[in-house]
A and B are shown apart, each in its own frame.
Chain A
């Protein structure tokens, strides 16, 4: 009896609360869904559109030059000879060399920031590394021309010749500082921030339990970093490298300013070269004939293709690595 008395006001309260609530509406939910879908489709469409535009723009060049466009190394607009091989070579070599220089620096910085640096030092260094990404490409190029290039023939080239001169890569004359090496160094500087900050996030995501497991076994700092941190994070670090490589392939301004812009394939890294991105930036404005313009658009298509292929290869490698170690992440 008492419960009935107690229940009555509770029930009416529940009723009044329900009465005040709006009926469930799905319209906002539906709008939200379609809006997000639209944006995702938009991004996808943009990629497809760019690819299609390049493809159709390059059609006449493809018809005219055929597959030979990719394998010929002569680039002589005056004679109407167009071969993209020197640019493909220059792009791949400068990017991979830049990646090789940048990766140890970036991973070392990331390890220092997550494992070794005292707390008060972490933020400032991380900030400065990311500031590097904010420097406009053309400013870096100017710095390279005025400061870096004069130093190369004086210090770096003789040193490389002396220590690694047995390799064809480091032979030949060194009279000009405009070279593949200069381009690789500038690329390394430009991709350093992205590799560092992504690696840092990856290292930070390594659970402390992993570190404690290693410390608990009596590991030193270096051993902890090696067995618990780096082996856990190596796939993520590889991913960071691929992001960096993606940037390197398309890097244009600063590279153009230091690579020497010579469409030749030279064995020596002391020699100048040319990249796919640089040749488009340099020559598009002065491309007077239709063939010339179409050839440059085809170069753009090749750059697009190289980037896509490299990213696909990286993904395959990651997948392959996964099945190898059987790790679940």
Chain B
């Protein structure tokens, strides 16, 4: 997108993040990146996703800066979850799905013909809308299952990783005496944090969260949101959310999707206080969606 003319108004220059990190679709225009700016963790270019005849994501180009929280908002059916899932190739599980475009993860093409999707998913972890610990596994086993899938057998190392992951998920103090209990004996909010621990235990480069608090009560939601602020020191986080308040609370930058297209992408405060696009403004002021 280097050949795109700078079309954003002055305010975007004051953004806390390098402009190149949130490149807009070509038709929206994006400023040329400065030479010193860091590379984005995820660099999606001209991504199109189809389910059979349905064109779910249309020509999305988006850079996700490393070690920050990026929120994707938009009304139901706008393609935001589909886009999130194509970042770890999970959308491929749905028969009839096709994707074209390029997605680079720290420079590696995730869709190169030689790349195994299971390897992609080991580098890009995911937390789902509903907590889904494995019901037959203990809390500790739930945390280490990803490591064990990768052939880690060293018990001492697994114990160490269990504690580390549970601490990162702010769950250690609540469960440290019950590690042998089944994962589903925990409360809903604890289960979701257990799923976060399970995802971070394999130390992914990016953590995807698909409406991670939509099934949680307000107190558990606050805990998960605080956790995101902690986690972004170590991980790059992409979160899809229905709640605009949540986006303003957790996200450094926010992307607004509508009808499969990326409408606007800017630092969160800017997107909500000073939206450039009419559709964005209509959505955030509650006129549709």
Residues of A whose CB lies within 8 Å of any CB of B are 118-119, 207, 209-220, 223, 227-228, 231-232, 234, 325-329
A326→B126 CA distance, assembly (Å): 26
Q: Is the CB of A213 within 8 A of B150?
A: no
What are the residues of chain A within 8 A of B132 when measuring CB–CB?
207, 209-210, 212-213
What are the residues of chain A within 8 A of B93 when measuring CB–CB?
211-212, 215
A216→B149 CA distance, assembly (Å): 12
Q: Is the CB of A218 within 8 A of B136?
A: no
Measured CB to CB, the closest approach of chain B to A217, in angstroms, equals 4
Q: Is the CB of A216 within 8 A of B130?
A: no
Q: Is the CB of B90 within 8 A of A215?
A: yes
What are the residues of chain A within 8 A of B119 when measuring CB–CB?
218
Asked if B95 lies at the interface with its beta carbon under 8 angstroms from chain A, I say: yes
Please name the 7 residue pairs, one residue from A and one from B, whose CB atoms are nearest each other, closest first.
Answer: A218-B122, A216-B126, A218-B121, A217-B146, A209-B132, A231-B136, A213-B132
Measured CB to CB, the closest approach of chain B to A211, in angstroms, equals 8
With known contacts A227-B134, A227-B145, A326-B185, A213–B121 Cβ distance under 8 A? no
Asked if B251 lies at the interface with its beta carbon under 8 angstroms from chain A, I say: no
Q: Is the CB of A216 within 8 A of B182?
A: no
A328→B202 CA distance, assembly (Å): 28
* Contacts A/B (CB < 8 Å), 22 sampled: A119-B95, A209-B128, A209-B130, A209-B132, A212-B90, A212-B93, A212-B132, A213-B134, A216-B125, A216-B128, A216-B199, A218-B202, A219-B121, A231-B134, A232-B135, A326-B181, A326-B182, A326-B185, A327-B136, A327-B182, A328-B135, A329-B135
Q: Is the CB of B184 within 8 A of A328?
A: yes
Asked if B254 lies at the interface with its beta carbon under 8 angstroms from chain A, I say: no
A145→B29 CA distance, assembly (Å): 79
Q: Is the CB of B149 within 8 A of A210?
A: no
A198→B6 CA distance, assembly (Å): 62
What are the residues of chain B within 8 A of A232 when measuring CB–CB?
134-136
Measured CB to CB, the closest approach of chain B to A320, in angstroms, equals 15
A327→B133 CA distance, assembly (Å): 12
Interface size of B in residues (CB-CB distance below 8 Å): 31
A234→B146 CA distance, assembly (Å): 21
A297→B119 CA distance, assembly (Å): 65
What are the residues of chain A within 8 A of B135 when measuring CB–CB?
232, 327-329
A216→B92 CA distance, assembly (Å): 12
What are the residues of chain B within 8 A of A328 when measuring CB–CB?
135, 184
- Chain B 116-130, CB-CB to A under 8 Å as 1, else 0, gives 001111100110101
Asked if B195 lies at the interface with its beta carbon under 8 angstroms from chain A, I say: yes
Partner of B121 from A217, A227, A325 at Cβ < 8 Å? A217
A214→B128 CA distance, assembly (Å): 11
With known contacts A207-B132, A223-B149, A227-B145, A218–B90 Cβ distance under 8 A? no
What are the residues of chain B within 8 A of A327 when measuring CB–CB?
135-136, 182, 184
Q: Is the CB of A325 within 8 A of B182?
A: yes
What are the residues of chain B within 8 A of A219 when measuring CB–CB?
118, 121, 149
Partner of A216 from B121, B181, B184 at Cβ < 8 Å? B121
Measured CB to CB, the closest approach of chain A to B160, in angstroms, equals 19
What are the residues of chain B within 8 A of A212 when measuring CB–CB?
90, 93, 126, 128, 132
- Chain B 164-192, CB-CB to A under 8 Å as 1, else 0, gives 00000000000000000110110000000
Measured CB to CB, the closest approach of chain B to A113, in angstroms, equals 15
Residue of A215, A234, A327 with most chain B CB atoms under a 10 A cut-off:
A215
Inter-chain pairs besides A216-B199, A217-B198, 15 sampled, C-beta below 8 Å: A118-B95, A212-B90, A213-B195, A216-B90, A217-B146, A217-B199, A218-B122, A218-B149, A218-B150, A219-B118, A231-B134, A232-B134, A326-B185, A327-B135, A327-B182
A209→B126 CA distance, assembly (Å): 12
Asked if B203 lies at the interface with its beta carbon under 8 angstroms from chain A, I say: no
What are the residues of chain B within 8 A of A211 when measuring CB–CB?
93
Asked if B88 lies at the interface with its beta carbon under 8 angstroms from chain A, I say: yes
Identify the closest chain A residue to B130 (Cβ).
A209
CB proximity to A under 8 Å, residues B88-138: 88, 90, 93, 95, 118-122, 125-126, 128, 130, 132-137
Q: Is the CB of A220 within 8 A of B134?
A: no
A207→B131 CA distance, assembly (Å): 12
What are the residues of chain B within 8 A of A209 when measuring CB–CB?
128, 130, 132
A326→B136 CA distance, assembly (Å): 8
Identify the closest chain A residue to B131 (Cβ).
A209
Identify the closest chain B residue to A210 (Cβ).
B132
A216→B88 CA distance, assembly (Å): 8
What are the residues of chain A within 8 A of B126 when measuring CB–CB?
212, 216
Identify the closest chain A residue to B148 (Cβ).
A227
What are the residues of chain B within 8 A of A207 when measuring CB–CB?
132
